[in-house]
Chain A
Amino acid sequence: MRLRVKLFAFLTRYRDNLSSGMPFEVDLPEDATVADLLRALQVPDEEVKMTFVNGLAQSEDWPLKDGDEVGIFPPIAGG
């Protein structure tokens, strides 16, 4: 399956020439989860705070499907 992925803030350092929120495509096997995606991107679990799949926060065991949009964030806050 093909995913549309965005990395934000500090996590952009895990991919060359990536700016925060710039989407890129990732191909994964059919039964992949959020955890599999993080492994494929070589983003360490402990640096990830929130992962949104199609705008909804999901846990690492969430099964992904073709065409999903995934946004991955480190710990952030503001106000």
Chain B
Amino acid sequence: MRIAALALALLIPGIAGATDVTPLVDDHILPGYRDLAADSAALAQVAQADCQPDSPDLRAAFGAAFDDWVRVSHLLFGPSETEDRAFALAFWPDPRGSTPKALATLIRDEDPAAQDLADFAEVSIAARGFYALEFLLYDPQLAVPGPYHCALVQVISADIAALTADILQGWEDGYADLMRGAGSNDTYRSTIEAQRQLFTALSTGLEFTAQTRLGRPLGTFDKPRPQRAEARRSARSLRHVILSLEATRDLAAGLSEHDPALDAAFATALDRARSLDDPDFAGAADPIKRFRIEVLQQDVNAIRQILAEDLGPRLGIAAGFNSLDGD
């Protein structure tokens, strides 16, 4: 009967027909995770050689690996969900200030977990991953050189390298084949299910950019919250919006078979973002500059609208459930 349900779905008018997601796996997903694993391994090496928070080499290596992460941060399924790897790589937003608290506690106690990678994998995710490392490199209170600080920088970098290597291995040793072979396995019982997974990832990534990356620092007009901007200490907030838009544009092009209207909507948003000149969204508190961030947010919402009202129905799929569904 499963076949019958699928056949019914295929017969709904307006469906272009489910296309194979293999090109997206090979050209969008795998290269992203390969870059992330390679740059994360490099970060771990640089940190071993130089753990000073103001080291240009270390900061550059951190920036390169973090860029790679943002480019795949919409792909929160499969090997990145397994063993909670993505959660450990990227704990943000942090409404209760858990990251600085967890790091300060480790430093105060000189917790021996920093001396051993396996032990460190047991600590709170608030003290792991890219956002914790950002505090250790850029936060005035926590970027204070010292032997324990150095061990912590090194173990977090090594942990990032291990997690990203595991994600890549998960893709290369099986998960990519599950998506390529959609229709002949139980994870993806049809190409439509594989497409729905990618469509959900696309929608969720854009929702996160609009509501969280942009929405959190915007707050409300009366109560702007620029201190909530993502990775503001390293002035990467706007950069993350741009990187994520570029990555989701690529995925959208593949899923939509290069729909010009969709691509134009991405171009509008990206042009606006690139001309914003407000790297940490401090402008959220300035009435004039704030307006430009709000317009960028509307640009991103315009893309989401095309996905939900045009591309989704055309493919015969709606986004599945995502991690932002809760409250």
Partners in one complex: no
Interface residues of A (CB under 8 A from B): none
What residues of chain B have their CB less than 8 Å away from a CB belonging to chain A?
none
